[in-house]
A and B are shown apart, each in its own frame.
Chain A
Amino acid sequence: MTGVAAEAGDAVDAVDAAVAVLRAAERRRHRLDLSLAVATPVSLLALWQAAADLHWVDPRIFTPPVEIARAAGQLISSGTLPSDLAATLARLVVGFVIGAAGGTAVGLLLGIARPLRAALSPLFTALYAIPQIALLPLLLVIFGVGETAKVLTVVAVTFFVLEINALSAVRHFDPRLVEAGRAYGASGAKMFRYVLLPGSLPAIFTGLRVSIALGLVVITATEFVASNNGLGFLVWNSWQLFEPDQMYVGMATIALLGVALTAVIAALERVAVPWVHRRSR
């Protein structure tokens, strides 16, 4: 009796030990992944620094990282970088919010209203095919060189991406779920609110992720040519004045801004559509 119990206890201990070993191995692999992810960019920066110091490359064009960091410090303490960042961020966020809200609303509406869809959807698809940045000269003519034209380029790109994604989510909605909704008493506004809208959220968030990245591209390009502040202006102006160290600071800030905004959208997505993430676990 005790022998059997002891044996069973041993078996449990052995299993626990095996679990502990597997967990430790997985933790080790995870740590290795992390260190590799950090090591790669750090080594590249070190290589860049060495290449510039040893004059393998022209340091006047490929400003070494240490110089860039110094330039960044100056731009921050002078207030230039924060104010450029704020200008770009404001244009991007305002344009993004307006475009996303409008595009989602119009896309969902076209999804449920067939005559509207027939009337507008082909037109919108054709308009989307025009690169939104090509609208900038026209917008400048109409609105002048103020904030409106710049924000509208972001609105345009965001609007069309969300319109197309939301429309397609409704159009390709699982008919079985619509039927289940109807069977359990959802019709009209309730069908929209409790079935179509939540079921379309994953596609809407895909649209948000895509369009925030596109929006950053568009606002940067806009600021290149039609602005006297903002990160795009910082990059473009630094190039024209041949101050590559500042140009690199601007580029790095734009990249970091893109990463940060994408992370914000991803965090919102985890809150708004938790079921999608649990599924993939």
Chain B
Amino acid sequence: MEVDLLSGPERVPVSPVAPALEARRVSKVFVGRAGEATLALRDVGLEVQRGTFVSLIGPSGCGKSTLLRILGGLEQPSTGEVRSTTRQERGGLPAVAFVFQDYGLFPWLSVVDNVAFGLRMAGMGKRERHDRARAWLARMGLAGFERSYPEQLSGGMRQRLSLARAFVTDPEVLLMDEPMAALDAQTRLLLQEDLVRLWEETKKTVVLVTHSLDEALLLGDRVVVMTARPGRVKLDLPVGLPRPRNASSATGVAFSRMKADLWAALRDEVEKSLEHS
């Protein structure tokens, strides 16, 4: 079951269409203040085809966030390269949108201004950006909270706010870093359903980092398992569950079998990462 199709540098893309995002032999080393070096990623290869949803799992500290940042251009790889075939800029809007682990909302901006932030940076006028932001807030069930500040919202609402901020820029690629990690189990279930629905409506190219095997399978077209640090791709599992999906997609034999496979691959790595720390 452990197929490592994607990590080799020699791999020639089989798809006639170039992937939306591609990491080739990407390594990343961090040098700390005391001069100590941390190898976070080693020779990571990953292709994300246009319009697919890739879930990324791996033990804590294996470099998932780092990989996501590199894919989105917030960080440069130490070696290797990232290719992206996203249309470059559309009216100053970035082609890639992030949903951060702790949301990264600006406490000094009202809810509506947080959502409109990317549009504002792209030079869009106030009326238009607020209209668009309001539309997404309504879609996310946050109508009526436009003038609140993020700190006045609950965790689930902040999460939906950060999704609205990402979707309002109509990005081609959406990179999400453990967006549900801080939520309680019930809120998380609801938001997972929201995300499934949103994705099936919009068909963005998505990379989602998660710790939850259920979430990875429920949402993803593929689940990529990373090794303990330095992170590499260990397993790349296609998820054949039919769409549209909902909470009941997470029942059934096929789901259980895939979950068992994922855990088998992940378990060793989690143990390794515990030994090291």
Contacts and interface: CB of A to CB of B under 8 A. Distances in A.
A275 B113 CA distance: 13
Contacts of A279: 107, 149, 151-152
Nearest to A183: B98
B98 A180 contact: yes
A274 B93 CA distance: 29
B98 A275 contact: no
A184 B117 contact: yes
Contacts of B97: 183-184
A190 interface: yes
Contact of A190 (B69, B74, B105, B121): B121
B122 to A, nearest CB: 6
Contact of B104 (A179, A185, A186): A179
A103 B120 CA distance: 29
B176 to A, nearest CB: 12
Interface in B43-84: 69, 72, 74
A195 B114 CA distance: 11
A183 B74 contact: yes
B106 interface: yes
Interface residues of B, number: 28
A273 B108 contact: yes
A182 B118 CA distance: 10
A176 interface: yes
B94 A183 contact: yes
A198 B74 contact: no
B27 interface: no
A185 B102 contact: no
A190 B94 CA distance: 15
A185 B92 contact: yes
Contacts of B106: 177, 180-181, 195, 198-199
Contacts of A55: none
Contact of B108 (A179, A180, A186, A198): A198
B7 interface: no
B152 A199 contact: no
B121 A186 contact: yes
Contacts of A195: 106
B74 A182 contact: yes
Given A180-B100, A278-B151, A185 B121 contact: yes
29 contacts: A176-B104, A179-B69, A179-B74, A179-B100, A180-B104, A180-B106, A181-B106, A183-B72, A183-B74, A183-B100, A183-B104, A184-B94, A184-B117, A184-B118, A184-B165, A185-B93, A185-B94, A185-B122, A186-B117, A186-B121, A194-B121, A274-B149, A275-B149, A278-B148, A278-B149, A278-B151, A278-B152, A279-B107, A279-B149
Interface of A: 176-177, 179-186, 190, 194-195, 198-199, 201, 273-275, 278-279
